Amino acid sequence: MDVVRLLPDAVANQIAAGEVIQRPASCLKELVENSLDAGATRIEILMLDAGRTLLQVIDNGRGMSDTDTRMAFERHATSKIQEAKDLYTLHTMGFRGEALPSIAAVSHVEIMSRRQEDEVGTLLEIAGSQVIRQEACQCAVGTNIKVKDLFYNVPARRKFLKTDQTELRNLLTEFYHIALVYPQVQFTLAHNDEILYSLPIANEKQRIEAIFGGAANRTLYTSRFVEVKSETELVNIYGFVGKPEEATKNAQQYFFVNGRYMRHPYFHKAVMTAYAGLLSGETTPSYFLYFTIAPDAIDVNVHPTKTEIKFADEQLIFQILLSVIRESLGKFNISPSLDFNREGEIEMPVLTSDTPISQPTVMVDPNYNPFHPNRAAKAPSHWDSLYTPSSSRPTSQQELIPDAFLPSLLPEGWKPYQYQEKYILCPSPLGLMAIEQHRAHVTILYEQYKAMLQHPTFASQQLLFPEAMELTMDDMIVIEPLLDSLRGLGFELDLLGKDAYSISGVPALLGQTNPVKALKDIIYSVRECGATVEKGFVHPIALSLAQDTAIPVGQLLTDDQMRDLVEKLIALPHYRLTPDGKTVLTIIDISL
C-alpha cells in the first residue's frame, strides 16, 4: 500500500505558522506590513494582554474585493509577485503569501475590508483555517483585521510565550522597527485601552524624537546626534549618529534598508570603527541609519523572520559608511556649537583682516618612530594585557593567591604607588602586587550595593532640583518591577506622566554620578541579563551601580585613597575577580 500523501491544508498551514508566527510580535509585524503594502497612510494598532487576547490592525489602505479577501488566506496567495524574477525587484514588505494563512491557522481571525470602488465591504471569519462565515458588511475603505486568541489551538506554543511584560516589549520593538522607517505614515498604538503612542505624519528626525524623545523635551533628544548624509551611485545613506559623549550602554541602534529594518553586524562594525578612540568604557553610540539601494543589489529572500539582509557590495558600503560617519563626526568636532536643527549648515570661525593670525607651534620629537619594534613592548597595551579576562589566561598565578592570605601579610607602613592613573602598585609577600583601581572599586561597591539591596535602607540624599528621567515605553516596562528595589536603595522616584519619572532623591553612595544615567544603565543591565522577579534583580542592579560610581581609570589618587581602596578590597571574601569576572589584581614575581 502507498503511504505518502499530501497534508491537509489546515495541517500544512499550522506547520508553516510555526515558522512565520512565533509570537504576537511576529503577527503584528506581518499585519502592519500588509497595511503598508496596501498603501495605508494611517494605521491603528489595538492590543489586549500583550497580543495574546487580541491584536487588531486598522488601516486606510487599498482594501480587498470579496474574492481577494477569501483568496488572501490561501497558502502562497499573494498579489505582490507573479514570477521568480520579481523577487529581485521587490518594492513591498511581503511577498511570500504565507502570513495570513499561517495566522488564520493558529487563531481566530475576523477581517473586514473594502475597496474605494465598492459599495459594501466583506466580512470574513476564520478559525483554525476553517471559514466560519463570509458576508457583505458596512465598513470604511481599508482593512480592519482582528486576530483573537493567538495559538488557542497550539497549547505548546501558547505555553512557550513569555510573560506579558516580555511579549509587550517584543511587540514594541517590532513597532519601532516599522514606525521609524515609515514616518510618512500616521500610527496609533494602544495596549489594554491605554494609548502608548500616537505618532503624527513626520520626517525621520521628528519620528525618532516622537518615539525616543519622551513627552517633555522632544527636540533635545536629536540634539545629541549629528546628521549623516551621503549620496553615491551605489547607495544613499541618510540618518543620525550620536555624538561620542552621548554614548551609553543602552544605545538605540537601527539600520534600515529600502524601508525595512535590518540587522547588519558588519555595518555595525563600520560604525564602531568610525568612533574608534572616541568612546569611553563600555558605551556605544546610538544611531539611526537609512540606506537606499537598488533592489537588485540586496537579497531579502532569506528567512521570513530573520532580519539579516545580504548586500552585493558589502565591503564598498562598509568603506562609504565608515568615511561618511567619520566626516560627520569631524564636522561636529570643529564646531561643537553645531545646531542640529539648522540642517547641514556649519559654523566656521570668521576670520577678518584684523584677526591676528598666529603661527601654530608644533612640537616634534625627531626620534619618534611609531614602528620601532621596541615601542610596542613598552606601550601600555602590554601592561593592559595582564588584565584581560581571566578565562583567556592561565590562572595558575591567580591560584597562587589564596583569598585569606594577603590581608595578614601586607607589610606594616606600606606605601602605594599609582601607575598610569590606572594601577595601584604595592608590596606583597609574593611579589609586586598590581591592582586595577576601577575594578577594585567596582568589586568593593558591588558588595555594598548588594548588602543595601538585601537589607533596604531607604536612606536617600535629596536632590536640590528633582531631575526628570524620560524613558521609552520599552524601558518603562523594565523599570516597573524594579521600583521597590530602587527605592530600598534610596532612589526617590515618582511617576511623571506615562513615560517619565521624577528623581528627587538618590542613594548617598551615588556621589556625583548622574542619576538618570545610573538608572538607565540599570535598566540596560537588567534587560541584558534577562533578570526577572523570580531570579531577582540584586546582581544586575548592584553591578551596574558599582560600575557607574566606581573611581574611573585616569583619576589621580592620593596615598590615603589608595591605601583605603586596597585595604577595603582585600578585606572582602573574594577580591581577585570583579563580580563580572575581570581580573582585579596580579602579582608580579620580582625575584630576579
For Mg ion, the binding residues (CB under 5 A) are: 34, 94, 99
Q: Is 38 in the site for ligand ADP (CB under 6 A)?
A: yes
Q: Is 100 in the site for ligand ADP (CB under 6 A)?
A: yes
Q: Is 34 in the site for ligand ADP (CB under 6 A)?
A: yes
Q: Is 262 in the site for ligand ADP (CB under 6 A)?
A: no
With CB under 6 A as the contact rule, the residue among 56, 78, 186, 328 that binds ligand ADP is 78
Q: Is 26 in the site for ligand ADP (CB under 6 A)?
A: no
Residue 271: all three cell numbers together: 560604525
Quick one: what does residue 502 bind among ligand ADP, Mg ion, none, with the CB cut-off 5 to 8 Å set by partner type?
Answer: none
Contacts of 549 (CB under 8 A, 6+ apart): 445, 509, 510, 511, 513, 518
With CB under 6 A as the contact rule, the residue among 17, 21, 99, 406 that binds ligand ADP is 99
Rank residues 98 and 209 by Cβ distance to ligand ADP and give the closer one: 98
Cα 278 off chain centre by: 20
Minimum Å gap between C-beta 176 and Mg ion is: 19
With CB under 6 A as the contact rule, the residue among 41, 53, 79, 335 that binds ligand ADP is 79
Q: Using alpha carbons, select from 15, 132, 151 the residue that is nearest to residue 70.
A: 132
Q: ∠ at Cα 552 (581, 440), nearest 5°?
A: 40
Rank residues 99 and 476 by Cβ distance to Mg ion and give the closer one: 99
Minimum Å gap between C-beta 72 and ligand ADP is: 3
Q: Using alpha carbons, select from 234, 213, 204, 199 the residue that is nearest to residue 32.
A: 199
Rounded-to-integer distance, Cα 529 and Cα 543, Å: 11
Rounded-to-integer distance, Cα 582 and Cα 283, Å: 17
Q: Using alpha carbons, select from 358, 348, 357, 46 the residue that is nearest to residue 195.
A: 46
With CB under 6 A as the contact rule, the residue among 30, 110, 174, 521 that binds ligand ADP is 30
> How distant, in Å, are the alpha carbons of 168, 425, 533 from that of 49?
8, 57, 19
The distance between the two most distant Cα atoms of the chain, rounded to a whole number of Å, is 102
Cα 237 off chain centre by: 21
Q: Is 94 in the site for ligand ADP (CB under 6 A)?
A: yes
Helix (H), strand (E) counts: the chain: 20, 22
Quick one: what does residue 97 bind among Mg ion, ligand ADP, none, with the CB cut-off 5 to 8 Å set by partner type?
Answer: ligand ADP
Q: Is 518 in the site for ligand ADP (CB under 6 A)?
A: no
Rank residues 57 and 271 by Cβ distance to Mg ion and give the closer one: 57
Rounded-to-integer distance, Cα 121 and Cα 12, Å: 29
Q: What is the dihedral of CA 347, 334, 282, 505, to 10 degrees?
A: -50
Span from 10-18, 62-70, 185-193, 345-353 in contact with ligand ADP (CB under 6 A): 62-70
Q: Is 174 in the site for ligand ADP (CB under 6 A)?
A: no
Minimum Å gap between C-beta 71 and ligand ADP is: 8
Minimum Å gap between C-beta 61 and ligand ADP is: 5
* Contact call for residues 204 and 289 (beta carbons, < 8 A): no
Minimum Å gap between C-beta 98 and Mg ion is: 8
Span from 98-106, 174-182, 208-216, 428-436 in contact with ligand ADP (CB under 6 A): 98-106
Q: Is 21 in the site for ligand ADP (CB under 6 A)?
A: no
Quick one: what does residue 170 bind among ligand ADP, Mg ion, none, with the CB cut-off 5 to 8 Å set by partner type?
Answer: none
With CB under 6 A as the contact rule, the residue among 23, 52, 62, 249 that binds ligand ADP is 62
| 468 SS3 class | strand
Q: Is 80 in the site for ligand ADP (CB under 6 A)?
A: yes
Rank residues 64 and 518 by Cβ distance to ligand ADP and give the closer one: 64
Span from 46-54, 78-86, 440-448, 512-520 in contact with ligand ADP (CB under 6 A): 78-86
Residues 140-159 contacting ligand ADP, CB under 6 A: 143
Q: Is 97 in the site for ligand ADP (CB under 6 A)?
A: yes
Total residues at interface with ligand ADP (CB under 6 A):
22
Rounded-to-integer distance, Cα 69 and Cα 61, Å: 14
Span from 96-104, 307-315, 394-402, 498-506 in contact with ligand ADP (CB under 6 A): 96-104
Rounded-to-integer distance, Cα 209 and Cα 212, Å: 5
| Cβ neighbours, 10 Å, residue 40 | 24
Minimum Å gap between C-beta 258 and Mg ion is: 16
Q: Is 72 in the site for ligand ADP (CB under 6 A)?
A: yes
Rank residues 59 and 436 by Cβ distance to ligand ADP and give the closer one: 59
Rounded-to-integer distance, Cα 284 and Cα 275, Å: 9
Report the residue number whose CB is nearest to ligand ADP.
Answer: 94
Rounded-to-integer distance, Cα 565 and Cα 568, Å: 5
Rounded-to-integer distance, Cα 486 and Cα 240, Å: 33
Minimum Å gap between C-beta 93 and ligand ADP is: 7
Q: Is 61 in the site for ligand ADP (CB under 6 A)?
A: yes
Span from 55-63, 82-90, 157-165, 516-524 in contact with ligand ADP (CB under 6 A): 55-63
Span from 5-13, 29-37, 551-559, 568-576 in contact with ligand ADP (CB under 6 A): 29-37
**Exposure string for 467-494, b = 16+ CB within 10 A, e = fewer:** ebbbbbbbbbbbbeebeebbebbbbbbe
In DSSP terms, 583 is beta-bridged to: 577
Residue 14: all three cell numbers together: 499550522
| Cβ neighbours, 10 Å, residue 442 | 24
Minimum Å gap between C-beta 35 and Mg ion is: 9
Q: ∠ at Cα 160 (156, 166), nearest 5°?
A: 155
Q: Using alpha carbons, select from 146, 151, 125, 109 the residue that is nearest to residue 22.
A: 151
Minimum Å gap between C-beta 94 and Mg ion is: 3
Rounded-to-integer distance, Cα 356 and Cα 390, Å: 56
Minimum Å gap between C-beta 95 and Mg ion is: 8
Q: ∠ at Cα 434 (428, 440), nearest 5°?
A: 110
Q: Is 228 in the site for ligand ADP (CB under 6 A)?
A: no
Quick one: what does residue 78 bind among ligand ADP, Mg ion, none, with the CB cut-off 5 to 8 Å set by partner type?
Answer: ligand ADP
Q: Using alpha carbons, select from 139, 172, 171 the residue that is nearest to residue 27.
A: 171
Rank residues 38 and 298 by Cβ distance to ligand ADP and give the closer one: 38
Q: Is 104 in the site for ligand ADP (CB under 6 A)?
A: no
The binding site for ligand ADP (CB under 6 A) comprises 30, 34-35, 38, 59, 61-64, 72, 77-80, 94-100, 143
